Amino acid sequence: MKYVILLGDGMADYPIVELDGKTVIEAAHTPAMDYIAEEGTIGRIDTIPAGFTPGSDVANLSVLGYDPVKAHSGRGPLEAASMGITLASSDIAFRCNLVTLDNTDVGMSRMDDFTAGHISSEEARILIDYLNKELGSPRIAFHSGVGYRHLMVWSGTPLLLNTTPPHDIVGREIDPFFPRGKGADDIKELMVRSRKVLADHPVNKQRVAKGKKPATSIWLWGEGGAPHIAPLTEHYHIRGAVISAVDLLKGIGVYAGLEVLEVEGATGYIDTNYRGKAECALQYLEKGDFVFLHVEAPDEMGHEGDVRRKIQAIEYFDSDVVDTVLKGLRKLGEFRIVVLSDHPTPVSMKTHVADPSPFAVFSSRAEENLRQRCPFGETNANKSGITISPGYLLMEYFINGWGDFVKKRRSEN
């Protein structure tokens, strides 16, 4: 049996007036996902426990079968694992965004762009290395990642903070959202100092000259120490891999015992190499048992509030990922495949929300499919009467008990 999870990050959404009350998923042309829902089983998954911020870290831990209440310690340490950074017991890892603020006045600045105009990895690497040279110390180290997404490790001094993701405060004054709690002044000072370091850097001057947004500051958030996560490969006795462009998902994969597969042209944006990811998954599955394939693009388009391009990202995901993998799996024997969103990122809100998201499972074993005959989307997921809550239970059903789950649902109806 081959097991595949195909996840469109932030794909779920709310009904939109200009789409005649449909969501972006429902408005998109998605024959592959529709087939999985129509011939398989559709429902909702609740990935965000009460009291948790609806981040991709929490949601994707749930998708992979981990209870965030027990396994989540912060986003930063998961990304550190992807970068090969081993955290000591006294280390705290922060997600470090390169961002664009609208002016240099500390008290009056607004968050203009949490991606610094989707700065390239090459440009960002130069800036992060320069920040490390100017602001680094025996207890502070900056590490470059992908695009605007980077890492800062703080060593030796205990911190107890509340921080805010920059994508939650676009267009708002930043002063009320600086870190709060024990050690907050030190972290805020580091963020403020970064402005002077970045202000006249040649990379930023070149970006401005080209009409692009400069990286005017860092924003530190998602802090935490090393989590305690048991490898799912040992729990399920399977060999598995993760395919993603972003360090967060790669880091979760490292802790989960999954092989991290690199795909040329995977960007974490709408221009990512969708088909390359699908082909990489199928090649791995010739010998491996399980693949978790993650596509970031729908989430990015949700954050940008771009209805048209979010629909486009979902259609690319369907045609180049879902359809390609589904056709390839049929040549590899028995399989189960699940397609889902980890959380909604509504274009109307430009940030994550904690509502349940649609999922659909198709099995090559006919008896494991409810065949509800309805296309993939939020409305039909809501009507199905199936909600898996807490969401981390889906993984156990998917690997070990999907036949029993479907049999029980069939008997109830």
Q: Are 387 and 340 in contact (CB under 8 A)?
A: no
Check if the beta carbon of residue 326 is closer than 8 Å to that of residue 15.
no
| Structure tokens given for 108 | 């009056």
Domain membership flag for residue 198 = yes
The whole-number pLDDT of residue 327 equals: 98
Clarify whether residues 363 and 261 are in a common domain: yes
On whether the CB atoms of residues 253 and 260 are closer than 8 A, the answer is yes
Residues 286 and 143 in one domain: no
The DSSP code sequence of 278-289 is: HHHHHHHHTT-S
Question: What single-letter DSSP state applies at residue 147?
Answer: T
Q: Is residue 282 part of a domain?
A: yes
User: Looking at the domain assignment, is residue 312 inside a domain?
Assistant: yes
pLDDT in tens, 97-153: 999 999 766 567 999 999 999 999 999 999 999 999 999 999 999 999 999 999 999
Residues of the chain where predicted confidence (pLDDT) is lower than 50? none
261 with 400, same domain: the answer is yes
Q: Is residue 345 part of a domain?
A: yes
**287 and 366 together in one domain:** yes
* Residue 289 domain-assigned (yes or no): yes
Can you give the residue range of the structural domain that contains 342?
2-72+229-412
Of 201, 224, 247, the residue at which a domain comes to its end is 224
Does residue 137 sit in the same domain as residue 271?
Answer: no
| Domain identity same for 294 and 237 | yes
One domain for residues 122 and 215: yes
| 155 shares a domain with 261 | no
| Model pLDDT for residues 324-340, shown as the tens digit of each residue | 999 999 999 999 999 99
- Domain end (from 224, 257, 282): 224
pLDDT at 107: 60
Residues 292 and 327 both lie in one domain: yes
Q: Is residue 26 part of a domain?
A: yes
Number of domains within the chain: 2
Question: From CA 53, how far away is CA 405, in angstroms rounded?
Answer: 29
What is the reported pLDDT for 396?
Answer: 98
* In a domain? residue 81: no
Residues 56 and 112 in one domain: no
Quick check: pTM over 0.85?
yes
Residue 77: inside a domain: no
Q: Are 248 and 145 in contact (CB under 8 A)?
A: no
Backbone angles phi, psi at 58, to 5 degrees: -65, -45
- Predicted pLDDT at 106: 59
178 and 253, same domain (yes or no): no
Give how far Cα 189 sits from Cα of 178, 185, 196, 324, Å: 10, 6, 12, 49
How far is the C-alpha of 46 from the C-alpha of 49, rounded, in Å?
A: 8
Residue with tokens 């605007």: 148
Instruction: Assess whether 265 and 406 both reside in one domain.
Output: yes
Domain termination residue (choose one: 224, 247, 279): 224
Give me the pLDDT at residue 104, please. Answer: 60
- The per-residue pLDDT for 157 is 82
Instruction: Say if residue 375 is preceded by a cis peptide, omega within 30 of 0.
Output: no
73 residue type, one letter? S
